[in-house]
Structure formats: structure tokens, C-alpha cells
Chain A
């Protein structure tokens, strides 16, 4: 297996890594960098649990090959709160019971963060479109939508 040297920013931190060609961003994060907040739910781009921001755009990290990451910026759920201070979105998820088992939560937070950065005051339909790739089996989704709407009124993604 060919290997590649890549440099990237992960949650603001510079990382230089030697990665095999077939390694995905999901495994770079979880196995090489120990950032296990990003979850593995299917490795097929079907559940959204592994969603992270790549240059600000939400992507399924299981669908991105590591060699593509050279010179790019990744933000994961661990990179949202600054100095232990939750973002309004995280705060709303915790407060409004948008979290049950929590396995979809990191991916939901990343997709919603991208939405609120792009569109600080979304409609419910915007939220549903932004989260359609993130499956949740516990909550029935309404509380997640409500949390995003509340966050959009209390300060947005940051």
C-alpha cells in the first residue's frame, strides 16, 4: 500500500501524518489522532454519524480519503467548544433533550453548525434539509430541530 505525507489543520492544530492511500478521514481522526468524538455508524456514507467539517463544509468523514486532506482544515465535535464553553448549539442540544443515546449527536452538531454558519436564521425546512443525511433512531428528530432553531436565536453556531 502506497503511503502519503499530508499536512492538515484539525481543530486548529497542525498535524503532519503519513497515511496509507486507502485510509479514510474517519480513521485518521479516530485511530491516528484519538479523536473518537466522531462516530462510526456505517462506513458507507449512509448514517451521518461521522460528519465533520472539511474546509467548513459538512462531509461524511468515512467517504473522504486521507490523501485528499493535504493542506485542508478539519473541524470535529471536539473543536466546537472553546475553553470548555459550549456553543449555543451544544447548549441547546443539552438543554432541550435533543440528545438521547448521543451516538448521532456529534454528526448532528456538525451538520447543524455548517447550516448556521451558512444561514444564521434558518427555517424549520432548512434545518430538515441540512440534517437529512444524519440518522437518529432515538429522538424522533423534533427536539433536534427545535434545538437548532433555538440556537439560531441564541447566538448560532459559535
Chain B
């Protein structure tokens, strides 16, 4: 291995430290115009009338777009259930409604951003307010107000699982633990708010340059709404300032494309730029779903799980986004990594008039895992067993049947991952069983606790989707290969995928990394890579560049110059789940994770200080070890924000935390004293050089590890978070 397994410097490092990397808001073109969006600003209403006459009369206003200007007024990643612009006279039924505060009603294009903003204020919209549906349980009720009147109910998606004999399972149990868990909404707070630039290129294509996670999917959605052929639209990804799932759905792309399209029809051939403010970003894009999970687990006295019953309700917000897929992940994660003979799960994602729920690192995994791992920690306590020991008695092994009645793919080394985490952190093995080590003395005024949790997360798209990714490898030179170009569309959102792809290409071709250059981020230059999500890109891109390199090398040997080959990697097939039993083979690879946390809590103030985190992951093979550790460190701190401070408040459908001063993410002073990534490398049979995906794994089980540590410190279980001082004090009965 000459190119992989090394902490190669990022290919974009130089541009980023010199301030040269161009993010969407940094792009300018001569003669550009500026766009501003008029957001609904109300949770549920019918738009009766939009009067743009005053706005249009303002000097410097070039174009005002409303629903009637959208050729095909619908879009959506999973289903096209959201209007591009909400209002009357549209091409699609029920698109005259706004369903959350961030729905877009009009877009103004003007000579300056100030003029566009002023014009937005002059647009007169007449609304007929509808009752907002805010509670997902109300939304589920028969006769609830239909948020999408063309649908039969407010349920976006439901899943059902029946394995074994639940009644018998609970009869066999000596101990039964019931729990009701609520996980909160989380906002991505990528540092770069949405922005973009649209224009026509020389080939007459509508070009949209904006941050995203899947250029070819964005191209498809823009073309669909604009009524254009796919090759009439070109998507370019500039440098992207973070994503974490938050750029998986469309934000500014369609309206930007629409603006240049309609301007050209008016004889105005000028680029259009938009930059969202932080507040617009927070209101305008989806969030991690809030989940409500009611569950009951049984175990025998000697610590074997007998039954689990889980009821899941996910608050999907106004539109589908990826609620259906997020729910599938929570559905699988809600029994975590355990061999349970009898299981019943009912899961629903439902619409409400709130900011949509969608993709965010972990994608349903953290929610399902929080309930499962909290149940395990409570059962361990009830049974008087060590939480690590209790888990080891119940983990899935190679060949064991999961909740979906099939065995796990690949190497199944959950036991090894758990034991490694225990050993690295606060446990030691005495006479063959794991026990917590003697505690350090705690500082004056604090109570100390340690906690453990684990989990799994799929790698790649699930449940019957034929996972695929394209790559092209080009070899230049005469006698020897002097230059290698790899074309791959993977979105570089900060995770380092371009560097990993360059390393894997160099490895596959057998040249030093310095000879490899990546061409990416442009639908005109690359073929479809799939999304940077589901911890899939290293796995998928690695396999595709490997295939392309092999084919290119064959041509090289046959004296073709340059030797160019394109290859589509197809991942192992998966299946849909049976609608009645949930049985199926939904995934082709998983990553396993175990995390141990130590914290201090001040019982007088409710303040929590997480002091040590050991985050253990089998990554198959670390293509770039520094980047792998960087993902673990970043993922853990993001998860600490989720469990400790990040409180996203919506009241009556209105967002109350649309600023960084009211929605609090961790600062440099909020990180643990010790954050230890523990990286294991047991090659996956299908992974490129054995590599698995790993970027979501550090998020999966951290919340239940923290609440377990808090219980260890205080004796109280916290089934809701974030663990703000107020919540902690309430839990302790102090207020």
C-alpha cells in the first residue's frame, strides 16, 4: 500500500488556508443581479392573492417570480410534494398553500440585494390562515386536518415489524423495562449559509453553482421543476462550507435556475446570485427529526433478552424530504446490535406544520439507538449486571438473525468493538468479566459518572435501491504514466472525500498521489456518483475508481494513449422489507460503534462537563487515518451539542432560535479534556481495500452513553434531551 493508509494532506488544504477556496457566496460574475426570497413566515395558510405591483415599480427591480412562473411547481428528493413557490395560479394542485414558516412565496431579482430585500417587503400577500397541525400525535388522529389534501392521511411513511412471538417473549422475561423517549430537533449549523449563482453557459445550459451533496440529483430536480431536459441544466459544486445532511435537499438551486430562465425570456441575459442570511438558513432548510419512542423490553434473570416492543412516531414537518428513509434507519436502529427473538415495531413519520425533518448525520440512527441503548442500560441496572457484560450476552454474531430476520453482511465483530471500547475506557476484565475500574476522585462540588453505549449504522442506500457510483480514470504519458485524472462527482463538503479518492486512485493505478488530479463537482464533467450521505462515498467511490483504474490500465497495456476508462460500480443487492413482518435484507454493509463517556455534573447548577470520550469504530481500513480521526472528533463534538446544548425551539410553528446566540453549538471551550478516537481496521469483504464508511458512526450512540453517565452520577434517568442545566435540575427535583 503506497498511497492509502497514509495521512495525506488534503488536496484543498492550500486553497483553504490561503483564503482562495471559492464558496458559493464568493462567486461573482460581471453584471450579476441579486435575488431575495419572500418566505411565508407563517406555519399554515392558503395564499389567496399576491400583489407584486408596488414591488415591481421599485427602481432596480428586474423580475418577481411567483407560483405561476414555475413551469412544474413541485420538487422533492423522495417525492415531489413541495411547491417551488407557494401561491395561486400554479401548475400543480394544492401548491397555493404554505405549510411551514420557511416555505417560499416569491423571489425578487434586482440590481442589488438591498433593492431585492426592499421589494420583498412591498409584496402584498393575502393569506387565509389554516389551523396549524403541530403535534405529530394529533396529526395521526382520524379526522386530523390534512396538511397535503391530495393524500389520504398525514402519514408520510410507516413500517411494521413482527418477529417471533411477542407475548411468549414477555412471558419468558423475568424483568421488563418500559421507557418513553423524546429526541429533539437538531439544526445543522454548517458554517456557510446557503448561497448560489446561476447563469447560462456557452452551450446554452442553465448553470447553477451552489453547495449540495449530490450534483446529478440536484440537476434532475432543477430540470424537473423548470420543464427542461436534463442536459439543459448543469450543476457545479464550488467549495462547500459543511453539509452534514443539511444540503441533501434543494434550497436555492431551483429558484436561481428559474430566475435566469425567465430573465432570458425577457431579453435579459444576466447572472443571478443569492446569499441566505443565517436566519434564512435556519428557517429555510430541514432539521434532524424529533422522535417519540415508546418501548418495552424484557430479559431473563441471567441477562438474555427475550422481547422488545417499540412504537416510533417521527415528526416529519411539512414535507417528505427524506422522512421515509430516515424512519427506516430508526426502525432498524431501535433494537440496536442485539439478538432478540421476539420483536414488534410500529413506526410512522407524520406531517406537521413545522420545519421539515430530513437528513442529518446518522439519519435516524441516533434516535432509534437512543431508545434501544437506554433500555439496555436500564435493564443492566435492573438485573444488577455490568452494562458491558449484559451487552456482550446479547450482541448479534455472524449468522444471528437481526430484527429483520436476516443475518448481518460482512464481518460481524460487534463483540470485538465493544470489548475494545471497554478496555480503552473505564472497564477492565477481572476473572473473565468486565467491570468498571475504580473511579477517579471527583472535583469538589461535582458528581462523576461513566456510561457506555453502542450501535450500528448502514453504509450506502438501502432496501432495494441499486447502489451505484460512476468513475472515469484517464492515464496520460507515453512510456510511463505521467499524469492521472480521475473524474468523480463526489461532493467535497469538508469530509475530505476528494483527498480519499485521489489516494485510492493512486493506489489502484500504482502511481504516487502527486500524479493524480481529481475533476469533480460538475455535471458536465463527471457522471453520477450518488450522494455524499449514508457514510457511503469512500466505499462507493473507492470501488468505482478501482474498477475504472483496472480497465484503464488494461487499455494502457494495449498501448492506448491516453488510456481512458469509465466504470460503474454496483454494490451488492438489497431488498425491500416485507410490509407485514419487516423481514428483508435492507443493507449490504454496516459500521459498528461503541462509545464510553465520563462526565461531571454540578448538582447545584445542573451544569454538565463531559470530561472523557472514547469513540470506537471499526472502519474496515482507514484510507486516510488523520481524516478518519477528524471525522470521529468532529462527529463526537457535534453529538455532544445534540445531547447537551442544542435546543431548537418552535412555538406555534414559529422558529424561536434562528440565531447562533439562541441556538447554541459547542465552542472550542466545550470540548472534552480527552476525546480518544479508537480506530479498528478489519477489512470488509466488499469495501475498497476493505474500507467501510464511518462519518456518521461517532454520532450513533453518544447520546445514550451520556445519559447513562449522568445516571451513574445522579441515579436519575433522563429520557429527554438536550440536557440543559434547567432540564437536569428538574430531573434532580431541584426546581
Contacts and interface: CB of A to CB of B under 8 A. Distances in A.
Given A102-B494, A103-B242, A44 B668 contact: no
B17 A101 contact: no
B439 interface: no
B191 A41 contact: yes
A142 B240 CA distance: 22
Given A97-B627, A100-B496, A106-B19, A46 B7 contact: no
Interface in B12-43: 12-23, 25-26, 28
B189 interface: yes
A7 interface: no
Contacts of B240: 101
Interface stretch (B288-296, B593-601, B631-639): B631-639
Given A41-B278, A141-B668, 6 more contacts: A86-B14, A94-B14, A100-B634, A102-B15, A102-B17, A144-B668
Contacts of B494: 100-103, 138
B241 interface: yes
Interface string B117-136: 00000000000000000000
Contacts of B480: none
B17 A76 contact: no
A127 B14 CA distance: 23
A37 B634 CA distance: 23
B23 A135 contact: no
A80 B667 CA distance: 25
B26 A142 contact: no
A43 B25 CA distance: 14
B145 to A, nearest CB: 36
B661 interface: yes
Interface residues of B, number: 57
A80 B23 CA distance: 20
A44 B191 CA distance: 13
Contact of B17 (A36, A90, A138): A90
A19 interface: no
Contacts of B19: 35-38, 76-78, 106
A81 interface: yes
B13 to A, nearest CB: 4
A40 interface: yes
A99 interface: yes
B667 A135 contact: yes
A10 interface: no
Contact of A139 (B21, B25, B633): B633
A68 B25 CA distance: 25
Nearest to A35: B19
Given A36-B22, A100-B494, A137 B244 contact: yes
A131 B666 CA distance: 12
Interface residues of A, number: 54
Interface in A87-128: 90-91, 93-97, 99-106, 109, 127-128
Contacts of B661: 44, 46
B623 to A, nearest CB: 13
Interface of B: 7, 9-10, 12-23, 25-26, 28, 188-193, 239-244, 275, 277-278, 493-496, 626-627, 629-630, 633-638, 659-661, 665-669, 671, 675
B660 A78 contact: no
B13 A138 contact: no
27 contacts: A46-B660, A77-B17, A77-B18, A86-B17, A94-B10, A94-B13, A94-B16, A94-B17, A97-B10, A97-B626, A99-B13, A100-B496, A101-B239, A101-B494, A103-B23, A128-B668, A128-B669, A132-B669, A134-B668, A135-B660, A137-B188, A138-B242, A139-B633, A140-B675, A141-B666, A143-B633, A145-B668
A37 B191 contact: no
Interface in A27-85: 30, 34-44, 46-47, 49, 76-78, 80-81
Contact of B26 (A36, A101, A109, A145): A36
Nearest to B698: A140
Contacts of A149: none
Contacts of B23: 39, 103
A128 B188 CA distance: 23
Contacts of A76: 19
A101 B192 contact: yes
Find the residue from B495, B635, B667 having the highest chain A CB count within 10 A: B667
B242 A142 contact: no
Given A40-B275, A44-B660, A137 B17 contact: no
A97 to B, nearest CB: 4
Contacts of A99: 10, 12-13, 16-17
A43 B660 contact: no
Nearest to B674: A142
Contacts of A137: 188-191, 242, 244, 634, 638, 665
Contact of A78 (B18, B26, B278): B18
A131 B668 CA distance: 7
A109 B20 CA distance: 14
Given A100-B496, A138-B634, A105 B16 contact: yes
Contacts of B9: 94-95
B18 A90 contact: yes
Contact of B630 (A78, A91, A139): A139
B18 A135 contact: no
B660 A47 contact: yes
A40 B637 contact: no
A42 B663 CA distance: 13
A143 B631 CA distance: 11
Contacts of B660: 42, 44, 46-47, 135
A36 B195 CA distance: 14
Contacts of A93: 13, 17
A25 interface: no
Nearest to B627: A97
A136 interface: yes
Contacts of B13: 93-95, 99
A77 B18 CA distance: 6
Nearest to A94: B13
Nearest to B26: A36
A102 to B, nearest CB: 3
A103 B191 CA distance: 6
Given A41-B278, A42-B659, A47-B191, A102 B241 contact: yes
A54 to B, nearest CB: 17
Given A38-B19, A77-B18, A139 B10 contact: no
B162 to A, nearest CB: 40
Q: Which of B629, B659, B660 has the most CB of A within 10 A?
A: B660
